[in-house]
Amino acid sequence: MAEIQLKNVGKRWGSFVGVQNFDLTIADQEFLVLLGPSGCGKTTTMRMIAGLEDVTEGDIIIDGERVNDLEPKDRDISMVFQSYGLYPNMNVYDNIRFPLKVRKVPTAEHDERVMRAAAMVELEPFLHRKPAELSGGQRQRVALARAIVREPNVFLMDEPLSNLDAKLRVSTRAQIKNLSHELKVTTIYVTHDQIEAMTLADRVVVMKQGVVQQVGTPTDIYDAPANTFVASFIGSPAMNLVEGEMKGGVFNADGISVGGLTAPDGPITLGFRAEDASVVVSKGDANAPAYTMELLGDATMVAIRIGGALVNVKASKDYRTEIGAPVAVSIPAEICHLFRSDTGERLE
């Protein structure tokens, strides 16, 4: 069991606030992803949970025990970082075994545990190599095995895939998801990559400047972003956002007019996703010349400029147009998201 409670946790250095009012219960065996741009406080939050950083406000409770003053080594937590932190003079086997030695686990258990961890990340053929004789992906798997071998209740992972190339990232990502499920550990995973967050998480926490913006399942966050920051951070491409005016249930901006909306008259931000809108033959809700066209293989992405914003629309894979040629886009009311122009908060 490892339920982690963060009760109004905050971190400040002098007058600088790194994290504020972080209030969340992470369920036993949950895979929680902290997502946000560089400097938003993800790593600091994780380091506070690990005990590598003092908490300046609030409490951290693991399995009902307040751990604010517990040393990292007493927290039953394993961490995996983007820099693998392997010992260069030890071979893979000894690197994986190291935490067992430090924790004075009886020697008789070492071999079985090391081999089990190595097998989980398919490292058996490399046990006698030194880290310098491994690829980046293999080194990352050694770091994972070293975290697994301790059989902790909590895994903390800080951008563990960021040094891997795109293909290895995808396969290692799948392996991490599978491991966390198999080992039944509570996992907190830090990334600035929204695709990693969406594919791995049971729940995602989106952060900005030390403040939690939204907590939800990937579907919650994709379907109903709490504000324009979250909307512009999730999805590939991110949600289109157009500034305009509501009047009598109709949204208007340069090149666009969408009716059937429920929102008070006045300035508003209209959002819609490229994949929800569609290109039509004539007279759309938005009409503008094509700005660019990109072939994605399974679809064609067209961009047009409306309301001063560049807006993406996903068309069929066979769709073709010339730059500058007129494009008509259907944007039905039911695919639209509405946000306050002043605060960016979702309306509803």
Instruction: Indicate whether 97 belongs to the interface with ligand ATP (CB under 6 A).
Output: no
Which residue number, 194 or 300, has a Cβ lying nearer to ligand ATP?
194
CA atoms within 13 A on the CB side of 344: 10
Cα 204 from chain centroid?
Answer: 6
Instruction: Indicate whether 208 belongs to the interface with ligand ATP (CB under 6 A).
Output: no
Give the x/- contact pattern for ligand ATP in 273-312, rule: CB under 6 A: ----------------------------------------
Answer for which of 4, 22, 44, 307 binds ligand ATP (CB under 6 A) is 44
Return d(Cα 28, Cα 17) in angstroms, integer.
29
Instruction: Indicate whether 38 belongs to the interface with ligand ATP (CB under 6 A).
Output: yes
Cβ(78)–Cβ(150) below 8 Å: yes
Instruction: Indicate whether 87 belongs to the interface with ligand ATP (CB under 6 A).
Output: no
The label of the residue with tokens 């961890």 reads 117
Tell me how far, at minimum, the Cβ of 196 lies from ligand ATP, in Å.
Answer: 12
* Amino acid identity at 174: A
Instruction: Indicate whether 54 belongs to the interface with ligand ATP (CB under 6 A).
Output: no
Which residue number, 40 or 120, has a Cβ lying nearer to ligand ATP?
40
User: Which among 18, 29, 107, 30 is positioned nearest to 57, based on CA atoms?
Assistant: 18
Which residue number, 80 or 290, has a Cβ lying nearer to ligand ATP?
80
Return d(Cα 23, Cα 201) in angstroms, integer.
18
Tell me how far, at minimum, the Cβ of 12 lies from ligand ATP, in Å.
Answer: 9
Instruction: Indicate whether 39 belongs to the interface with ligand ATP (CB under 6 A).
Output: yes
Answer for which of 2, 10, 18, 126 binds ligand ATP (CB under 6 A) is 18
Residue number of the CB atom closest to ligand ATP: 43
Answer for which of 75, 169, 192, 273 binds ligand ATP (CB under 6 A) is 192
Instruction: Indicate whether 16 belongs to the interface with ligand ATP (CB under 6 A).
Output: yes
Return d(Cα 128, Cα 146) in angstroms, integer.
15
Instruction: Indicate whether 160 belongs to the interface with ligand ATP (CB under 6 A).
Output: no
Answer for which of 1, 8, 13, 182 binds ligand ATP (CB under 6 A) is 13
Tell me how far, at minimum, the Cβ of 207 lies from ligand ATP, in Å.
Answer: 7
User: Which among 215, 240, 236 is positioned nearest to 336, based on CA atoms?
Assistant: 240
Q: Write out the residues near ligand ATP by the rule CB under 6 A.
A: 13, 16, 18, 36, 38-44, 192
